[in-house]
């Protein structure tokens, strides 16, 4: 039981990590297909990611110790499970639902119910697609088990069972039928006809843009620092460069440069681009206004955060001031709009709109 809880925690952690990685692209796609961002829909997508991680983790882990590996058998007799269920039902004085043969079939069915549900609710597809998806995912899992994780082990350590293919596919079918309880208007990811229509610049939308910037910058810094550190190890760099300090420095500088290039080229940060916002007008030359927009927003925060010592405290004050100004400025333009002299508008509005 303790092992199953650990595997469940690993599945949740992996799914949440993947959801964090995909958050900014999800926001950008939502604004372009649906005109806005829905927290509930993102939660459902996150649940789907956790589910997919759980399928792989529960069917492949824990990996066995090669020194004590015991090879598993193969069941190619389709319908063999029926005999075990019949025997369980025929026994007297016992609860058939607690019989291992019955439990195995039920759990294999239940494991794929969410797949059929997500196929209808998220992809907008019905029973035929759910059946194909259930069979395909189950076949991939079973083949991975049959090939001992594609040759990683000398022999399969879990049973390849064609009955699992049938049970999993039935589970996907049941999930597709269960999803019929969800209103049809919530199925799939259709492109709304008014997705490109301008919408009000709300505080929630402005904070979402800021969140996308901070999260995107953090992920960029993490990715660059990891890649840089791995490159140092692979190239056999001097030991003084392999302690992580050089990689950390490069990682902190990377998002500053990336966001500076994006803002100077487009006048918008990654977060602005994601939620379809832009700064317009103002008395300053375009280049200067864009630089000030960068310095008064995510750029200034990243630079302060990268500086040593007490500058981290200054970065915290800068962040609090940025949030406060979004709440207090009538047009939600915040500090970037104040320092650049520009107003904040929906990027889908006409260029000369007020």
pLDDT of residue 244: 73
- What pLDDT, in 10s, does the model give residues 190-202? 778 888 889 999 9
Confidence of residue 270 (pLDDT cuts 50, 70, 90): very high
pLDDT of residue 96: 59
Residue 346 has pLDDT above 90, yes or no: yes
pLDDT of residue 286: 94
List Cα–Cα distances, 43 to 38, 62, 189, in angstroms: 9, 28, 14
Average pLDDT over residues 218-228: 95
pTM summary value: 0.84
Query: Mean pLDDT across the chain, nearest whole number?
Result: 87
Residue 81 has pLDDT above 80, yes or no: no
CB atoms within 10 A of CB 231: 12
- What pLDDT, in 10s, does the model give residues 100-109? 667 788 888 9
Greater pLDDT, 288 or 69: 288
* Distance separating alpha carbons of residues 248 and 70, to the nearest angstrom: 44
List Cα–Cα distances, 311 to 59, 253, 257, 300, in angstroms: 48, 15, 19, 12
Confidence of residue 145 (pLDDT cuts 50, 70, 90): confident
List the Cα angle 206/210/213 in 5-degree steps: 140
Domain limits, the chain = 1-62, 67-196, 203-346
Place of tokens 């955060």: 305
Residue 331 has pLDDT above 90, yes or no: no
pLDDT of residue 296: 95
Residue 159 has pLDDT above 50, yes or no: yes
Task: Please choose, from the candidates 54, 161, 182, the residue with its C-alpha nearest in 3D space to the C-alpha of residue 119.
Answer: 182
Residue 174 has pLDDT above 80, yes or no: yes
Average pLDDT over residues 127-131: 94
* Distance separating alpha carbons of residues 212 and 221, to the nearest angstrom: 14
Residue 61 has pLDDT above 90, yes or no: no
Confidence of residue 2 (pLDDT cuts 50, 70, 90): low
pLDDT of residue 68: 76
Greater pLDDT, 330 or 13: 13
């Amino acid at each position: 039981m303790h092992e199953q809880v650990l595997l469940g925690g690993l599945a949740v952690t992996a799914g949440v990590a993947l959801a964090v990685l995909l958050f900014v692209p999800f926001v950008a796609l939502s604004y372009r297909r649906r005109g806005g961002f829905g927290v509930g829909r993102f939660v459902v997508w996150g649940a789907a990611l956790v589910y997919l991680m759980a399928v792989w983790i529960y069917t492949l882990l824990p990996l066995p110790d090669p020194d004590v590996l015991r090879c598993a058998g193969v069941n190619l007799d389709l319908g063999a499970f029926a005999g075990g269920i019949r025997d369980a039902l025929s026994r007297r004085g016992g609860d058939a639902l607690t019989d291992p043969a019955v439990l195995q079939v039920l759990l294999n069915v239940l494991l794929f119910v969410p797949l059929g549900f997500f196929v209808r609710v998220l992809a907008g597809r019905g029973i035929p697609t759910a059946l194909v998806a259930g069979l395909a995912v189950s076949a991939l899992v079973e083949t991975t088990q049959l090939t001992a994780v594609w040759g990683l082990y000398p022999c399969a350590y879990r049973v390849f069972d064609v009955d699992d293919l049938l049970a999993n596919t039935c589970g996907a079918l049941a999930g597709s039928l269960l999803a019929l309880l969800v209103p049809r208007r919530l199925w799939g990811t259709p492109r709304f006809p008014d997705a490109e229509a301008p919408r009000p610049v709300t505080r929630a939308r402005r904070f979402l843009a800021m969140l996308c910037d901070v999260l995107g910058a953090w992920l960029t810094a993490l990715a660059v620092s990891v890649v840089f550190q791995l490159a140092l190890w692979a190239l056999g760099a001097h030991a003084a460069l392999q302690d992580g300090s050089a990689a950390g420095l490069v990682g902190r500088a990377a998002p500053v440069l990336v966001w500076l290039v994006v803002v100077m080229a487009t006048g918008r940060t990654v977060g602005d681009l994601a939620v379809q916002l832009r700064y317009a007008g103002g008395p300053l030359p375009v280049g200067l206004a864009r630089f000030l927009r960068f310095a008064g927003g995510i750029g200034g925060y990243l630079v302060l955060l990268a500086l040593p010592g007490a500058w981290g405290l200054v970065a915290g004050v800068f962040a609090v001031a940025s949030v406060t100004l979004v709440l207090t400025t009538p047009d939600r333009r915040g500090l970037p709009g104040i320092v650049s002299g520009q107003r904040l508008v929906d990027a889908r509005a006409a260029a000369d709109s007020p």
